[in-house]
């Protein structure tokens, strides 16, 4: 299948108009107002879609922060997508971060699986028997092959479903840094399992 990708630096007419007006001293006020309106509508749509209830304060905050980010990064927009698609990702990120944070507000973050076995077994449809050896090796790997920080991050995100940005917030780090930690932890675990003779099949779709 061949896809015609928009060539960088060649903008469609509507996108070019956005970039031109936002950067123009004459037209930028009106363009910024139009953009803000678009961001706000997108934020409200997303809050509604995620059944986040009616939080118009949250929609405004997300639109505010997204607008700031977009204007600061305007010169990095190269037309790899339509301008509005590019702009939307900023406001959707802001909404997502806020909704995840709100959902975990005041909640204890489970960093360690108290009963790792129970959790692993409960999460496996096949249940106990033939998974036994593999789960034992996995549990041992989580306990012995990882650093305490790696273990904390892996257990919180993959077993306790703590959103990565919520965890980053509590630990005073960033989503990107935590994902790197998770990535390294997974790598070590897979190596541990392979060394124990467990063939990890390629995942199926």
Partner 1 sequence: MIDRVLGPRGPELTCEQCFEELDRYVEVEMTGGDPDAAVPGMHAHLRGCPACADDHESLVALLRAERA
Residues contributing to the site for partner 1 (CB under 8 A): 1, 3, 5, 42, 45-46, 49, 80-82, 85-86, 88-89, 92-93, 95-96, 100, 120, 123-124, 134, 138, 142, 154, 157-159, 161, 163-165, 175-176, 179-180, 182-183, 186, 189-190, 193, 200, 202-203
Q: CB 95 → partner 1: shortest distance, Å?
A: 7
Distance CA 43, CA 94 (A): 8
The CB density around residue 179, as the number of other CB atoms within 10 Å, is 15
In the complex with partner 1, the residue whose CB is nearer, 60 or 77, is 77
User: What phi, psi does 27 have (nearest 5°)?
Assistant: -105, -5
Contact between 158 and 150 (Cβ < 8 Å):
no
Distance CA 131, CA 147 (A): 25
User: Long-range pairs for 116-120 at CB < 8 Å and ≥24 separation?
Assistant: 116/142, 116/143, 116/155, 116/159, 119/159, 119/160, 120/159
Q: CB 26 → partner 1: shortest distance, Å?
A: 28
Q: CB 33 → partner 1: shortest distance, Å?
A: 20
Q: CB 155 → partner 1: shortest distance, Å?
A: 9
In the complex with partner 1, the residue whose CB is nearer, 31 or 42, is 42
In the complex with partner 1, the residue whose CB is nearer, 24 or 68, is 68
């Amino acid at each position: 299948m061949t896809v015609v990708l928009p060539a960088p630096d060649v903008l469609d007419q509507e996108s070019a108009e956005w970039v031109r007006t936002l950067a123009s001293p004459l037209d930028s006020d009106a363009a910024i107002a139009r953009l803000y309106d678009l961001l706000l509508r997108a934020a409200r749509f997303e809050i509604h879609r995620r059944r986040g209830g009616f939080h118009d304060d949250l929609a405004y905050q997300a639109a505010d922060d997204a607008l700031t980010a977009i204007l600061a990064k305007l010169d990095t927009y190269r037309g790899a997508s339509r301008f509005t698609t590019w702009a939307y990702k900023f406001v959707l990120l802001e909404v997502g971060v806020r909704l995840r944070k709100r959902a975990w507000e005041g909640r204890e973050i489970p960093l360690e699986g108290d009963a790792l076995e129970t959790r692993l077994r409960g999460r496996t449809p096949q249940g106990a028997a033939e998974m036994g050896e593999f789960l034992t090796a996995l549990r041992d790997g989580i306990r012995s092959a990882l650093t305490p920080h790696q273990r904390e991050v892996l257990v919180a995100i993959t077993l306790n479903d703590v959103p990565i940005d919520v965890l980053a917030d509590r630990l005073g780090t960033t989503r990107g840094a935590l994902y790197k930690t998770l990535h390294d932890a997974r790598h070590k675990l897979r190596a541990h399992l392979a060394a124990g003779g467990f063939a990890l099949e390629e995942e199926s779709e």
